[in-house]
Chains A and B, each alone.
Chain A
């Protein structure tokens, strides 16, 4: 055979050395025409068979849809997380993983009968079931495989200069998976029903990896929910992916985890805050990954992806309604469970009251609250907006700025302290002083007012023009483009929110008004602009009142 010309550039990515200059799957090269991972997945999916592998006739099967993404790490390519490849080049949920998960949902009798048991003398008796794993039911799995993971917590909470580069992962987008189980004995239909019930109970915890971050949850099955789901509605900018745009439910976990870190960091030293947050939500740990106590699941019941802006200002947007649930990943004693329930509930409320989720969560939704901003072309989308739906009584918590102190001091902080105490953490007034956003009376201030309606935001203008100007004296005081509001590439130190105002009358379901509680949260730095702005808030305006902390 004659030598192939230019052979090294024709070798498929999988067969190349996984080093610079040959193939770097996990690396995202900005502005590259084609990412290595894109070529790698193309080489893979093009050659996979058009039809799904079928289980043989004696195998019982059932299919389930996954609410968002799904991944089982093959563990074969260090440096990138990618699915296991099964028959015909199809991604595959391995039978061994399936058995492990199934076993964890069995009682001792079921475990022995279905999964096998150890006999006296050390021998093993096999179980009667064979787990054949799961395959996607159709070829849609080849779409949207590339998953950009962008950890930002250190950058957002702790240090403005922390590393926050994105890396790539390969996961399946909303696949429907067909699972197979067979038995060495003939079983009655009733027993098969029972077997599938065990499997559903097992699956409710989430399948595969990263279940704490919302991956691998079946749409139709609920796990061990800490409390009934929050139903919420939100709009904002969708996450960019290599194949376009996507609404990524892990924004909820990221936000709640980040807030937990800020708040814990205001009560205990940094390493303890980090450890306790890792225990709750999972994390990379210092030596090996920690599986979190709490898992997250989001099922969108209405999702619209759209566009906003023109030309290079065009972005993809989402408008989504769905149910956000928090799941317990392992059993807990009642006292702990109750404390955890309170903690997570309060953290969700905190996130909704003071911030938002996803991109640009520190700013109010400009297309919604500040339409005139877009009278000029060439303006980017700024902000996002989130509202509660349904369970107002449980969720709303504040209807006026003055309620914020009650929420903070009587609900949020006690639930956090209770949880930390139950974890054996000693609260001795030390805190994570070095972080940029620590929820401590010395580090943060919240100011609030009532806005009459959607157009009545006062603070939004402070981000775009001087908050004070006197033309005669030539004074223009502004926070625009400073370290407080942030710039491109620099995160600001101020959060701004228009929290829908509800009317509470006794006994009734709270009703939504046309008003908003306008809140600004500031983590002051030492800059002159910041000092000047705080003086302005304290002495030169009447609209906003300081609402937290009050006695400082």
Chain B
């Protein structure tokens, strides 16, 4: 199989620039995202919901990062759930959590490895653009 680059660095740059255009203040979320990776997919995914009501721009940054992860993983034929979920809908939240922990272990590991790298790149770009 030939070498395939998933372009994580470019994806990261796009995410950071979009966040910066929307709201300079949300740039620091990149560091938080990098730390949150250690707590796994559910915690990372849940952050955009937590922020949705009070800090819409930050919420959007997390969600766009999640969408990017889902898209890249999809290119590698790994399906990461990405249901539309409302922050006040406990059933939807729990269903999504269940799907995330229900991913097979190998897929979870790949997803976290990709997310780690993506966030590292985002932190790098954040430092450049700050």
Q: B45 contacts which chain A residues (CB < 8 A)?
A: 17
Would you call A16 and B42 a contact (CB within 8 A)? yes
B50 lies within 8 A of A18 (CB): yes
Chain B residues with CB under 8 Å of A76's CB are: 32, 35
- Pick the contact of B94: A3, A22, A78 (CB < 8 A): A22
Is B39's CB within 8 Å of the partner chain A? yes
Taken together as a complex, chains A and B put the C-alpha atoms of A16 and B47 apart, in Å, by 10
- Chain A residues with Cβ below 8 Å from B46 are 16-19, 22
Chain B positions 63-120 with a Cβ under 8 Å from a chain A Cβ: 87-88, 90-91, 93-94, 97-98, 101-102, 105
The yes or no answer to B22 lying at the interface (CB within 8 A) is: no
Q: Are A17 and B102 also in contact (CB < 8 A) when A22-B46, A79-B50 are?
A: no
Interface: A550 (CB within 8 A) = no
Is residue B14 within 8 Å, beta carbon to beta carbon, of the partner chain? no
- Answer whether residue A20 sits at the interface, using C-beta atoms and an 8 A cutoff: yes
Contact in complex: B43, A7 (CB < 8 Å)? no
Interface size class of B (residues with CB under 8 A): 20 to 34
Taken residue by residue from 10 to 22, chain A's Cβ proximity to chain B (1 for < 8 Å, 0 otherwise) reads as 0100111111111
Neighbour of A15 across the interface among B35, B42, B49, CB < 8 A: B42
Knowing A7-B98, A76-B35, the reply to whether A17 touches B47 (Cβ < 8 A) is: yes
Complex Cα spacing A22 to B49, Å: 12
* B49 partner residues in chain A, CB cutoff 8 A: 17, 19
Give Cα A21 to B98, complex, Å: 12
- Of the candidates A8, A18, A21, A79, which one forms a contact with B101 in the assembled complex, judged by CB atoms under 8 Å apart? A8
- Please indicate the chain A residues that have their CB under 8 angstroms from the CB of B90 in the complex: 20-21
Q: Is the CB of B97 within 8 A of A17?
A: yes
Q: Would you call B102 and A7 a contact (CB within 8 A)?
A: yes
CB–CB A17/B42 < 8 A: yes
**Residue from the list A3, A14, A20, A22 in contact with B39, Cβ < 8 A:** A14
Query: Bound state CA distance, A18 and B102, in angstroms?
Result: 19
CB–CB B101/A19 < 8 A: no
| A15 CA / B41 CA spacing, docked (Å) | 8
| Alpha-carbon separation in the docked complex, A3 to B105 (Å) | 9
Max chain B Cβ within 10 angstroms of own Cβ: one of A11, A16, A19, A22:
A19
Tell me if A1 is interfacial: C-beta within 8 Å of chain B.
yes
Contact yes or no, A18 B93, CB < 8 A: no
Closest CB in chain B relative to A494 CB, distance in Å: 39
Q: With a CB–CB cut-off of 8 A, which chain A residues contact B32?
A: 76, 78
Number of chain A interface residues as a range: 10 to 19
* Inter-chain contacts of A14 with B (CB < 8 A): 39, 43
Chain B residues within an 8 Å CB radius of A19 = 46, 49-50, 87, 93
Give, as a whole number of angstroms, the nearest-CB distance from A230 to chain B. 41
> Chain B at the A interface: mostly helix, strand, loop or mixed?
helix
- Considering the chains assembled together, what is the distance between the CA atoms of A76 and B42 in angstroms? 16
CA of A474 to CA of B94, assembled, Å: 63
For the complex formed, measure the closest distance between the CB of A361 and the CB atoms of chain B, giving whole angstroms: 34
Q: When chains A and B are docked, how far (Å) is the Cα of A15 from the Cα of B42?
A: 7
Residues of B within 8 A of A1 (CB): 105
Return chain A residues, CB-CB under 8 Å to B88: 20
Say how far B48's CB is from chain A's closest CB, in angstroms.
Answer: 9
Please state if A11 and B98 are interface contacts (CB–CB under 8 Å). no
Given known pairs A3-B102, A11-B42, the reply for A18 and B47 (CB within 8 Å) is: yes
- Given A18-B50, A20-B87, A21-B90, A8 and B98 contact (CB-CB distance below 8 Å): yes
Shortest C-beta distance, A87 to chain B (Å), equals: 16
User: Is the CB–CB distance between B101 and A17 below 8 Å?
Assistant: no
Show the binding face of A for B, using Cβ within 8 Å.
1, 3, 7-8, 11, 14-22, 76, 78-79
| Further contacts, 18 of them, CB under 8 A, given A1-B105, A15-B43, A19-B87 | A7-B98, A7-B101, A8-B98, A11-B97, A15-B40, A15-B42, A16-B42, A16-B97, A17-B43, A18-B46, A18-B50, A19-B49, A19-B93, A21-B94, A22-B46, A22-B93, A22-B97, A76-B32
Contacts A/B (CB < 8 Å), 19 sampled? A3-B102, A7-B102, A11-B97, A15-B39, A15-B40, A15-B42, A15-B43, A16-B46, A17-B50, A17-B93, A17-B97, A18-B47, A19-B46, A19-B49, A20-B87, A21-B93, A21-B94, A22-B93, A78-B32
**10 nearest A-B pairs in the assembled complex, by CB-CB distance:** A17-B46, A21-B90, A7-B101, A21-B93, A19-B49, A15-B40, A8-B97, A8-B98, A15-B39, A18-B50
